Amino acid sequence: MKTTAAANDSGKILVVNKPAHWTSFDVVKKIRRVTRVKKVGHAGTLDPFAEGVLLVCLGRATKKVAQLMELPKEYVAEIQLGRETSTLDPEGPVVKEAPIPAMDEVRLQAVLRRFIGELKQEIPAYSAAKYQGKRLYSLARKGKDIPRLFKTVHIHEIELLDWGRDWLEIRVVCSRGTYIRTLARDIAGELGTVGYVRSLIRTRIGQYRLEEALSIQDVETQSKRTDDGGV
């Protein structure tokens, strides 16, 4: 059952379907405005190009943000092969091109299995991670030299959903802090080419699924109904 937004401070967790081209903070600002709840936060940032499940906590529920962020995440990602962008997503310019070796499903499955388990991932230059107190994306946009930074993550599952000559579609279940953009680049590298994430949907955080998520319009409609005295 979808969760109804309400203009009170009793505490709610909204499962929101973040639209592509919105930042996670854009969603928080919008929900704060339409619900008129002052204390609003989210549990787990999604990149602007990505869409899908964003947990938005209202009122007393903001105390659960840290706990919610530890839940495993599930994504469906399309990986474009043969080209790599500066941001490892559709928003950056192409910086590398490489031929794509012949592939078959047996090889693809074997490569994907190599990424299951604990991984040491390189943090993308265009990310919100900090170096010397500065956001990496801010340094990258200014052309500053950024050292290679790494973090340890855990990939619980990878499933090959579909593929073509120059693309893959995969489902990934992973730990907090996993960069699907880095995973896509590294999978492409194991296949002998380059790549980036051309689309990304977060389908689940813990038990909270995309099927139950509210659109931004849903939140507005339900908030208005509450204001008007509806259920």
59 and 181 in contact (C-beta within 8 Å)? no
Q: Report how far apart, in Å, the C-alpha atoms of 92 and of each of 29, 69, 88, 125, 206 are.
A: 26, 27, 7, 12, 30
199 and 78 in contact (C-beta within 8 Å)? yes
Residue 47 bears catalytic tag: yes
Report the candidate in 126, 181, 130 with the shortest Cα–Cα distance to residue 153: 181
* Catalytic residue (one of 9, 26, 47, 166): 47
Catalytic residues: 47
